[in-house]
Structure 1
Amino acid sequence: MNAPSTGSSRGAGPTTPATLCLDRSGVTYVRHSYHPDPDAASFGLEAADVLGVDPARVFKTLLVETAGQGAPRLAVAVVPVVGQLDLKATAVALGAKSVSMANPVAAERSTGYVIGGISPIGQKRTLPTVLDDSAFDFETVYVSGGRRGFDLELAPADLLAVTGGSRAVVRRS
């Protein structure tokens, strides 16, 4: 693996709201582009395979809707592509009574990204974000860069910093 260089980005890929956010923040990251298969069963597992990385290092961005705190609101959960989101643990991490998966149209409208390319970084609106604790098992992790076929590699602590997120165990294997 190529280690990111300090205060910059490397690699090929488009400019997206996620890369602009990282550049403004001075976060070190690496861009990884590939040609996605529109028929892939899992965008995240495809990314791991094409990029040649352990799928446990590739994280998917899921939007949930919270309940029990007044009006429902959207939040972000970032979990490894090899696991599933634990809705009860996510509710606890977000301080909600419960959570459910968000409507895909609402997720796209809120984030400014399309399903399969939703990045936890650079969303149109800042949403409460929780990153699964397993990310900290690795020096760097991969998340969507804001388009299908475009991933960003960065340190988990930097991902938390740019999203204003928190960390908790929110996956089930």
Structure 2
Amino acid sequence: MAGRGTQATALLVKKAIAHRVHTYQHDPNHASYGTEAAELLGQDTARVFKTLVAELDGRLVVGVVPVSSQLDLKALASALGGKKARMAAVADAERATGYVAGGISPVGQKKALPLALDSSAQDFDTVLCSGGRRGLEIELAPADLIALTGAVVAPIAT
């Protein structure tokens, strides 16, 4: 299982983007996927980012924020040029991205959704985010994540 790639890791390899893959044994009973990843990988929760899918004016969008924070839906709407955002239904998020909840990566989504990355990512040389399944994180430079996803960078975390 640890050696199995995902759309995210395949895209990083294809585009020759420097990255590291981190794996851990996911506990289905853990309360928070992101916090679990940070704890088991010995990382600061401000440096490990979670990928959240929201509905903005009837379309799906993505907010990527530190696991130590919450997504500010008003700030997300503003960053992506919309009026009103709310969290998307899990089934809609999974269908649009091609990933399962708790393993949704900002990279290699089935349908490239508009994406906003919290500006705090730029405080780090590298950040970690889901690699496309539970128990798999990818570490890469924020600039590479921005370039690869076409992310808007804005303060979207509270």
Interval containing the TM-score (normalised by the shorter chain): over 0.9
Q: TM-score, normalised by structure 2?
A: 0.97
Choose from 123, 126, 142 the match for 1:140.
Answer: 126
Contact (CA 8 Å) 1:32, 1:152: kept in 2 or not? yes
Identity of aligned residues (%): 57
Contact (CA 8 Å) 1:62, 1:76: kept in 2 or not? yes
Paired with 1:73 and 1:22, the residues of 2 have a C-alpha distance of 26
User: Considering only CA atoms, is the larger Rg found in Structure 1 or Structure 2?
Assistant: 1
Q: TM-score, normalised by structure 1?
A: 0.89
Deviation at 1:158, TM superposition (A): 0.5
State the AA in 2 paired with 1:169.
P
Q: Which residue of 1 aligns with 2:9?
A: 19
Q: Which residue of 2 aligns with 1:53?
A: 43
Which sections of structure 2, spanning at least 5 residues, go unmatched?
Answer: none
Q: Which residue of 2 aligns with 1:3?
A: none
Secondary structure, counterpart of 2:63 in structure 1: strand
CA deviations on 1:50-69 (whole Å, 9 max, x unpaired) are 101111100000001011xx
Which sections of structure 1, spanning at least 5 residues, go unmatched?
Answer: 1-11
State the AA in 2 paired with 1:134.
S
Paired with 2:129 and 2:109, the residues of 1 have a C-alpha distance of 13
Choose from 79, 82, 101 the match for 1:115.
Answer: 101
